[in-house]
Structure 1
Amino acid sequence: MTTVRKWEFAGTRGSVTARIWTDGDPWYIAVLVHGYGEHLGRYDHVADVLARHGAVVCGPDHMGHGRSAGDRVLVEDYDDVVADLHTVVEAARGDHPDLPVVMIGHSVGGLIASRYAQLHGGVLAALVLSGPVLGHWHILDELLPLDEIPDEPIDTSTLSRDPAVGKAYIEDPLVWHGPFRKTTVEALDTALKRVSEHGRLGDLPIFYMHGAADELVRPRDTRTGIDAVRGTDFTERLYPGARHEIFNETNREEVLADVTAFIDGVLT
C-alpha cells in the first residue's frame, strides 16, 4: 500500500512543502515536477502507479504554489524553482544513494525539468516530458505585451476529455484560479530562452509525450524547443485526441503504462 508523507524545507524564497510516496523497497527514485498554478497533490494517482512500480516518488510544491510559501504564482526567476527542486532530489539521493533518478515534468514542469537536466544532468538517469512548455508558448505571446494581465479563468475543457478533471480543477482550493502575474510571465519567457539557448542534453534518455489535441500547450509550438534540447536517446509519443493533462486523460492508464515501460527500458 502506497504511503505518503509531507516535509518542509527552507527554499530560495521561503518555506517549500514536498511530498514522498513509497510502497515497499524501491529500486529507483522518481521526481515529479508539476505545472503552473497547480500543486503536487494532483499527482497522487501518478505517484501511486510509480510507487507500485518500484519507485520512491518525491517532489515539491513550487514557490507560490500549493502548500508552499510565497505570493501566489509569483516567480521572479525559474532557476530558483530549479534550486528548490534540487534540494528535494538531493534529499532523496541522501536517503537512497544507490538508486537511479528519473525526473518527470508536466507542462511548465517540463520546462523546469529540462532546465534541471541542463544544470544537473549528471544526477539523472532519464527524463520524461509531458506536454512540456518548451520553445514557444502562444499564451506568452498574448500576455507579454500587456501592462495589466486580464483575469480570465482557464477553459478547463482543454485539460482532458474527462469532464470530472475540469470539475475537480475548479473545486481545488490549492489550484490558483486568478490571473498570471506579469513578473511570472517575464520569468517564463526568460526560462524558455535559456533552455533553448543552452543546447542539447547529450545521451540522457528522454521520453517526450504529448496530447495531439492539446490546445493549451500546442505540440507544434513545443516541437521547436524539443528539437533544441533533445539528445541522442530520444523517444516520442503523441496520443490522438488527447488534450493537455495526459496523466488525467481518458487513456491515462495507457499513458502511465508507457511511462513505466520507458523506465524499464532505460533502467533494466
Structure 2
Amino acid sequence: MSEKNRSKIKWRFKSKDGLELFAHSFPSKNPPKAIICLTHGHGEHLERYKNLAAALNDADYSMIGFDQRGHGQSDGPRGHTPSYETLLDDIEAFLAEVDENYPDLPRILYGHSMGGNLALNYALRRKPKLLGVIATGPWIKLAFEPPAVKVFMGKTMDKIYPAFIQASGLETAALSRDLEVVRAYEEDSLVHDKISARLFVGMYESGLWALENADEFSLPLLLMHGSADRLTSADASREFAEKVGDKVKLKIWDGFYHEIHNEPEQADVFKTIINWLEKL
C-alpha cells in the first residue's frame, strides 16, 4: 500500500446519480490483512463507529465507511432515497472507492441495522467479490410489527409522494444499555430521525425479500444480534441464519440491546468479530 493511499483519510465521492457522499478511512498502523467496508444504520453516521475501527486496527484490519445519502456528512434529503436500488448503487460506488485506495486487498462488507439489510441484499442481488459479510442487528424485520394501517399508508404515500417525510419514532433508550452512548446519540448534531415513505417501504419490503431468498446466500456470513433488541428482530436473524445454513456463524448476545458494538461488553463483541475474520 502506498503512502498516497495511506494519506487519503476523509474525502467525498460521487454516487451514480451525481450525489456527493462522504467517506472516512481508518487505516491500521501495520499493512492490513483485509478492509472492513462499513454501512451504518438509519439516522446515524459512520463516525459513531470509531471504537469498532480502533479494535479492528489493533488486529491489523483497516476500516473504511461512508455516510449513506441523506445521512451524516453526505448530501441528499435527510432520510430519503429515490429507490432502494439507489442505495445498493451507492454501496457499489463506495466499494469502487475502497478498491482505488486498497487495490488487491480482500474486502468484507459490514452492515449494522439498516446497513445490515443493505449488506445482506447487496450480497444476494449483486453477487459481489467479497471475502465475507458481517451483519449486526440487521433490519430484516422490525422487532415489532408496524400497524397494518401504517404500512398501508406508507405504501400509498410511496406511490403518490415518495419523498413524504415522517419522524422515525426511534426509541433512543433501546440503542444501548450504556447511558452515555444514548446521551451522546441524542446530542449528536449529525443524527436525525427522519424517514421517507420511499425509504421505509424499500427497507421493509427488501428485508422480507432477503428472508425469502436467504437460502441463496453464498458468502461466509457473521450474523449477530442482541436478544433484547427492541428495534430490529433477533428472531428474523435466527430465521435468516437457518436458511443460509453452514456458511453462517450466528451469535445472539444474551440481554444485549440494538447496538451490540456499543454495549458495555463491546470488547467481547469485537473479539468475536476478529476471531471470525481470522478464520476466513
> Counterparts of 2:72 and 2:145 in 1: how far apart (Å)?
22
Tell me the equivalent position of 1:171. Answer: 187
> Counterparts of 1:170 and 1:29 in 2: how far apart (Å)?
30
The amino acid that maps onto 2:26 is W
RMSD (Å) for aligned C-alpha atoms: 2.3
Q: 1:231 to 1:78 in 2, by over 3 A?
A: farther
- Count of residue pairs brought into register by the alignment: 262
Tell me the equivalent position of 2:12. Answer: 8
SS in 1 for 2:279: helix
* Structure 1 stretches lacking a partner, 5+ long: none
SS in 2 for 1:210: strand
Q: TM-score, normalised by structure 1?
A: 0.89
Tell me the equivalent position of 2:102. Answer: 96
1:221 lines up with 2:197 in the alignment = no
1:71 lines up with 2:87 in the alignment = no
Per-residue CA distance 1:185-238 (angstroms, 9 max, x = gap): 11212322442344434541111111111111121233334444x253111111
Instruction: Judge conservation of contact 1:203–1:231 (CA < 8 Å) in 2.
Output: no
Q: 1:19 to 1:75 in 2, by over 3 A?
A: same
1:3 CA drift (Å)? 8.3
Tell me the equivalent position of 2:257. Answer: 243
Single out whichever of 69-78 and 105-114 deviates more from structure 2.
69-78
The amino acid that maps onto 1:64 is G
Alignment of 1:197-236 (within 5 A): 197-228=212-243, 230-236=244-250
> Counterparts of 2:145 and 2:227 in 1: how far apart (Å)?
20
Q: 1:227 to 1:173 in 2, by over 3 A?
A: same
The amino acid that maps onto 2:275 is A
> Counterparts of 1:44 and 1:138 in 2: how far apart (Å)?
26
Instruction: Judge conservation of contact 2:225–2:237 (CA < 8 Å) in 1.
Output: no
Q: 1:152 to 1:106 in 2, by over 3 A?
A: closer
Q: 1:53 to 1:201 in 2, by over 3 A?
A: farther
> Counterparts of 1:255 and 1:162 in 2: how far apart (Å)?
15
Identity of aligned residues (%): 28
* Structure 2 stretches lacking a partner, 5+ long: 1-5, 155-163
Alignment of 1:149-164 (within 5 A): 151=167, 153-164=169-180
Instruction: Judge conservation of contact 2:241–2:250 (CA < 8 Å) in 1.
Output: no
SS in 1 for 2:43: coil
